[in-house]
Amino acid sequence: MTGHERDLDTDDGAAGTEPGAATDGPLTLAPVGVSSFDEQVYRALLTRTDATPAGLAEQLGQPEARVDRAFGRLREHGLVTRMAGRRRRYTAVDPESAVEAMVRDRSSELDRVRGSALALSSMFHAVRRRAGGGGTVEMLNGPEELGRWFVRLQHQVRDEMLVLDRPPYALAATNPVEPVSLGHGVRWRAIYAPEALEVAGALDEVQALAARGEQGRVLPGLPLKLAIADRRIAVLPLDLDVEHAQAAVVRESTLLTALLELFELYWRQAQPIGVEAGTRTDDRQLAQLLATGLTDSAIARQLGLSTRTMRRRTRALYDELQATNRFQAGVQAARRGWL
């Protein structure tokens, strides 16, 4: 083997970018550990039912030995198989199944890395608490830092996430991370201020999250935002000024214990969100929504009714319950066991 070939081998084995290699197409395998040259070989093999190293080397204008080594690495990745017979001949494995298996393997590796990071983080903060380094409360400044920490908290959670949700929002109110966490079996309890559900599209999103396993409730007058992961770390915004947001990261302490107790108190006071759009509108469903504190227009949207129809049914409900306002209706509905 020449020195030049040894240099090529070194480059082949790492997932890097090689001049002239096809790296900007729809399929990019570098994130799962396939080098640019090996991917080039794999793409070329996909255009054939099978090929020998010599045949593919001629097509690519590369040394046969280099292509042969690429086949060996692709075989280890599960992307190609060697056909029977003395002559080395390879065929590609269906990318849909082969690449999906590689993604699963890489995901498992990343989960192990994430678990190690959490263990190291616990060690880091434990040392600083023992040293009096003030690791119990960490201050965050600005919406960007707060947003990064909230996303980080969701990626770290393993068992349970507790959230108090209310506007205003610095960014869009949608949360792309939560469905992934729910899919991994995280128990997610969220308490929403009524005005949070009046944001355009919010009711649809909450219903979609409920279908994935979120337990959602509504509490009128919710005064703050809060997120607690696994009962060991919390992010607490200190005011509602989204442009100059300040927040505290609170780790295991009496303060965190107090925040947990506050969440559970609010949870007991909040009303479940249990009505899905498209269900039959009856007195029980309407009473539950009225008790959440949502506006008439928000209730009408959730029930798929016009605001006029919703108000007409509300008046009929008040007559049945012998009530003149929402509070009295809620009392009477509770006595009937509707809430």
CA distance 112 to 229: 19
Could you give the CA distance from residue 38 to residue 72 in angstroms, rounded to a whole number?
A: 10
Q: What is the DSSP letter of 220?
A: T
271-272 and 215-218 beta bridge pairing = antiparallel
Q: Which residues contact 80 (CB under 8 A, 6 or more apart)?
A: 42, 45, 71, 74, 90, 91, 92, 93
- Report helix, strand or coil for 227: strand
What pLDDT is attached to residue 2? 41
Predicted model pTM: 0.49
- Other CB atoms within 10 Å distance of the CB of residue 333: 22
pLDDT on residue 120: 61
Residue 244 burial by CB count (10 A; 0-12/13-18/19+): exposed, middle or buried? exposed
Rounded Cα distance between 189 and 164, Å, is: 9
The Cβ of residue 32 has, within 10 Å, a number of other Cβ atoms equal to 17
Are the C-beta atoms of 317 and 329 separated by less than 8 Å? yes
- Per-residue confidence of the chain (339 residues) as pLDDT tens digits? 444 443 444 445 544 434 334 444 455 778 777 888 988 998 899 888 899 999 999 999 999 999 999 999 998 888 888 888 788 899 888 877 777 777 777 776 666 666 666 556 656 655 555 544 446 888 888 888 888 888 888 888 899 999 999 988 766 555 677 888 888 889 999 999 888 887 777 877 888 888 888 999 988 888 899 999 999 999 999 888 777 788 889 988 899 999 999 999 999 888 777 543 333 356 777 887 887 777 888 888 777 677 888 888 888 888 888 888 887 887 777 777 676
Q: What's the longest Cα–Cα distance across the chain? A: 95
* Matching residue, tokens 């020449």: 2
Q: What is the pLDDT of residue 339?
A: 66
Q: What is the pLDDT of residue 286?
A: 82
Q: Cβ-count burial of 115 within 10 angstroms (0-12 exposed, 13-18 middle, 19+ buried)?
A: exposed
| Amino acid in position 181 | S
Pick the closest to residue 56 from 41, 43, 70, 69 (CA basis): 41
Q: Among 160, 177, 181, 139, which Cα is nearest to 231's?
A: 160
Q: What is the pLDDT of residue 331?
A: 77
Cβ within 8 Å of residue 130, ≥6 positions away = none
